[in-house]
Structure 1
Amino acid sequence: MKIRVISSRNEILSLNPNEKVVHFAFRPSNKDIFLLVETCPKLEVIQLPKSYIRTVSRAIEMFLEMQKVQFIEGDVWGHRKDINEYYTVPSSIISKIRSMKAEGIPSEKIAEKVAHESKLGPGMVSYILNKKDLE
C-alpha cells in the first residue's frame, strides 16, 4: 500500500486523480483540503501529523465526513520526499496485520501493537485492517 506524501500546496493540482491515501507534510488550509478532494475524487484517507490535526476546523471535518473521507492522525517517519513521492507501507507490516486478524485478535489490540512496533499511527493501521483488499 502506498501513501502519497504532499509537501506543498503546489503539488495538489498535479496529483493523480486515483489517489486514495494522502499525507500532508505541511499545514493545509481549508482551501487546500477542498482542492485535494476535488482533484482526487477517489480519496479515502487524509493523514496529518498530530500538531497539524489540531488546527483543522470542525467544518472541514464535517465536509470530509460527508465525502466519506477518513481524517486520521499520523506520520510517515523517515520518508524522504526527494527520493520518492510515495511512502510504501512495508509488506511485512501488512502480513503481520493479516495474520493477527486471522488469529482473531481484536482490531483495537492489532492497531495498538502494530503502531507501537512500526512507523504507522493507530489510525492508519485501523484503515489498513478494515480494507477488504489488503495488498
Structure 2
Amino acid sequence: MKIRVVSSRDEILSLNPNERVIHLAFRPSNKDIFLLVETCPKLEIVQLPKSYQKTISKSMEMFLEMQKIQLLEGDVWGHRKDINEYYTVPPSIITKIRNMKAEGIPSENVAEKMTKESKLSPKMILYILNRKPVE
C-alpha cells in the first residue's frame, strides 16, 4: 500500500486523481482540503501529523466525514520526499496484519500490536485490516 506524501500546497493540483491515501506534511487550510478533495475524487484517507490535526476546523472535519473521507492522525517515519513521493507500507507488515486477522485476533489487538512494530497509527492499521486486498 502506498501513501502519497504531499509536502506543500503547490503539489495538490499535480496529484493523480486516483490517489486514495494522502499524508499532508504541511498545515493545510480549509481551501487546501477543498482543493485536495476536488483534485482526488477517489480519496479515502487524509493523514496529518498530530500537531496539524489539532488545527483542523470542526466544519472541515464534518465536510470530510460527509465526503466519506477519514481524517487520521499519523506520521510517515523515516520517509524522504526527495527520494520518493510515496511512502510504501512494507508488504511484510500488511501480510502480518492480514494473518493476525485470519487467526481471529480482535482488530483492536492487531492495531495495538502492529502500531508498535510498524510505526503506523492504529487507525491506519484498522484501515488496512478492513480494506480489500488489491496489492
Assess same fold via TM > 0.5.
Answer: yes
Contact 1:8 1:25 in 2 (8 A): yes
1:24-35 mapped onto 2 (5 Å cutoff): 24-35=24-35
Residue 56 (structure 2) aligns with: 56
Residue 12 (structure 2) aligns with: 12
- What is the Cα deviation at residue 118 of structure 1? 1.0
- After superposition, the C-alpha distances for 1:77-117 in whole angstroms (9 at most, x for unaligned) are 00000000000000010000011000000001101110111
Segment of structure 1 superposing worse, 110-119 or 10-19:
110-119
**Residue type at the aligned position of 2:45:** V
Residue 125 (structure 2) aligns with: 125
Give, in whole Å, the separation in 1 of the partners of 2:50 and 2:122.
12
What percentage of residue pairs aligned between the two structures are identical? 77
1:1-135 mapped onto 2 (5 Å cutoff): 1-133=1-133, 135=135
Identify if the C-alpha distance between structure 1 residues 89 and 108 changes in structure 2 by more than 3 Å, giving closer, same or farther: same
Give aligned pairs, total.
135
- What is the Cα deviation at residue 123 of structure 1? 1.2
Contact 1:30 1:60 in 2 (8 A): yes
Give, in whole Å, the separation in 1 of the partners of 2:133 and 2:29.
32
The alignment's C-alpha RMSD in Å is 0.7
Give, in whole Å, the separation in 2 of the partners of 1:102 and 1:133.
13
> When the two structures are superposed, what TM-score results if normalisation uses the length of structure 1?
0.98
- What is the Cα deviation at residue 134 of structure 1? 5.2
Contact 1:4 1:23 in 2 (8 A): yes
Give, in whole Å, the separation in 1 of the partners of 2:2 and 2:30.
24
**Residue type at the aligned position of 2:126:** S
Unaligned 5+ residue runs, structure 2? none
Give, in whole Å, the separation in 2 of the partners of 1:8 and 1:42.
20
- What is the Cα deviation at residue 133 of structure 1? 2.2
> When the two structures are superposed, what TM-score results if normalisation uses the length of structure 2?
0.98
